[in-house]
Structure 1
């Protein structure tokens, strides 16, 4: 297990969705803000991203990928001056457009739990633009090609393949952004934590076995550092001491189990490293403000409710 994968798995709820559009200028789409993230990929031609809050428009070329999260309402159009029509998942038929230059785009959305955002996501900007560059991020490009091929024509198995590709795409986008950020001289925080072999080893240990009775010394040994050196480096890069992060992650796992499964409370406690139900309940209440049983009653929801709005 690794921190990036687990961070997305912990936040991810519902099924992602995507739409394939062939559009001729003039055209414009407005995507209403909702909890989660959205992506846009230009497969052919060019267009403009109109970011939230009046930020300057961004020109997108063939192969460009954009990811937005927690950013607010945004637009996509052939020109910054084109009027925008509200995007609606239930809309039938082709999107309204003219007879000008052709653009082919993939637009999709993820439903993410903003109430328990992993701290590494705090470093990801509201708008991530990954321009197409020869030789850069081949795995991301391969995922885009596969997704475009599946959505460009109806074939058996697509209903299962497309959601899996969308999940992979989100991880490829974030991995690409972290890799690019790590190349910057001023990079720090979680960007460097994921790139630091010692801290990455400790994070992998925590995420692989959150139920283990970890100590700072034991995690330091996994990292190949002395207790003091490890504690200092971990806190500097991750933003909190090792055992504080361990508790935070355990409570994140516990909340997800309570929301999305029927696992008994005592089993949730054991899976998150607590041999005592009382100790688990106390730790959970400190983190979430309510008892585990009450949390489950408040947050229980239909399985795989899916996304209703977004890109």
Structure 2
């Protein structure tokens, strides 16, 4: 598993929700803030405007918007459009694909088709990369890979068939990966020695990225600062300093955080025995694992699993 793939897997709880909307001009729509979520908009055909405080941003077919912190925003069919108030309850989780039509279908005005929706996230335990993202990320149309994914998404949303409920969330995950990859790529384009820190910069820094990839691929390995430094091609001291500067915490602190985060995900979604989870997390005993997990999450792993599954704990 590479780090970006893990970020996607960690980000959501449950499945993404989405709505396919045909907007008939004139139209405008405010989308409410939804705490504990990450929202997206994919323009499948036509165009619209993002009403940004610094000036409207034109969105064309193939453009993707990602709002990692669930902030509200407004889309307009044209600059003079009056935005309507939210039409959807942000606390309601619709089926994977809901179709809707806004405006006069017979009015003859331009039509814009969007796929909007969001992921439910556990903000408290989200990967630091997500917490560092800006309020809004915009991936313009025509990006290699993303363009093909948008085309597939448009076709699947317009003509759902067998397997659509599996294909749509998978394609949305692919698009999100392209958005994050582009963001990390911008960090990688910073001049050497620019002093840029944060997760995007860390993933674009080859030595630090090599160490992170090792931790994510083998969380059960008995890593030390020296062995991770060897993976990074740096001395122990140089690696520890560089990792801390980029990531914001020491290498072994991140290793422990990643082990516990992975264990929590498996506790929520599987019935893997605690002894197996302990071994996968690099602990030689179930007791040591349970102690570390309780220190991280404030509750023993068995109780954490029972509460997440909605069953009484012992």
Band of TM-score, shorter chain = 0.7 to 0.9
Which is bigger in relative contact order (C-alpha 8 A, separation at least 6)? 1
| In structure 1, C-alpha distance between the alignment counterparts of 2:37 and 2:67, rounded to whole Å | 9
Q: Are the equivalent residues in 2 in contact too, given 1:46–1:78 (CA < 8 A)?
A: yes
Q: Is the 8 A contact 1:69 1:126 kept in 2?
A: yes
CA distance in 2, matches of 1:157, 1:11: 23
In 1, distance between residues paired with 2:68 and 2:207? 30
Match of 2:307 among 286, 293, 298: 298
The reply to whether residue 183 of structure 1 matches residue 192 of structure 2 is no
CA separation of 1:103 and 1:263: change in aligned 2, threshold 3 A: same
Contact persistence 1:189–1:238 (CA under 8 A): yes
Deviation at 1:207, TM superposition (A): 0.6
Give distance in 2, aligned partners of 1:93 and 1:161: 17
Match of 1:72 in 2: 71
Distance 2:225 2:190 in 1: 30
Secondary structure of 2:102's match? coil
Other-structure match for 2:230: 221
1:138 aligned residue (119, 144, 168)? 144
Question: Partner of 1:172 in structure 2?
Answer: 178
Where does the alignment leave 5 or more consecutive residues of structure 2 unmatched? Answer: none
**TM-score normalised by length of structure 2:** 0.85
Say if 2:48 and 2:75, in contact at 8 Å, map to a contact too. yes
CA contact (8 A) 1:130 1:177 kept: no
Q: Measure, in 2, the Cα distance between the counterparts of 1:301 and 1:14.
A: 15
Between stretches 145-154 and 236-245, larger displacement belongs to 145-154
TM alignment of 1:172-211, pairs within 5 A: 172-185=178-191, 187-211=196-220
State the shift of 1:263 in Å.
1.5
Distance 1:92 1:130, change over 3 A: closer
Distance 2:308 2:184 in 1: 32
Closer, same or farther: CA 180–81 of 1 in aligned 2, 3 Å: farther
Q: Which has the higher mean CA deviation after the structures are superposed, 99-108 or 269-278? A: 99-108
1:99-156 per-position Cα deviation (integer Å, ceiling 9, x unaligned): 3222222223222222211111122112112233x5xx30111211111121122333
Q: Deviations over 1:59-102 (max 9, x none)?
A: 32333211012233333331452323413647976422133222
| Kept after mapping to 2: 8 A contact 1:211/1:274 | yes
The alignment's TM-score, normalised by the length of structure 1, stands at 0.86
Structure-1 residue corresponding to 2:258: 249
Superposition map of 1:1-311 within 5 A: 1-32=1-32, 33-50=34-51, 57-79=56-78, 81-87=82-88, 89=94, 94-98=100-104, 99=107, 100-132=109-141, 137-185=143-191, 187-301=196-310
Q: Name the CA distance, whole Å, in 2 between partners of 1:144 and 1:66.
A: 12
- Following TM superposition, the consecutive aligned residue runs of length 4 or more in structure 1 with deviations greater than 6 angstroms are 90-93
Q: Secondary structure at the match of 1:43?
A: strand
Q: Is the alpha carbon distance of 1:95 and 1:173 closer, same or farther for their aligned partners in structure 2, counting shifts above 3 Å?
A: same
Displacement, 1:275? 0.7
Change (3 A) 1:102 1:210: same
CA RMSD, aligned part only? 2.4
Determine helix, strand or coil for the equivalent of 1:39.
strand
Query: Structure 1 pair 181/145, CA: closer, same or farther in 2 (3 Å)?
Result: farther
Q: Which ranges of structure 1 fall in alignment gaps of 5 or more residues?
A: 303-311
Q: How many residues are matched?
A: 297
* SS class of match (2:203): helix
* CA spacing shift, 1:267–1:236, aligned 2, 3 Å: same
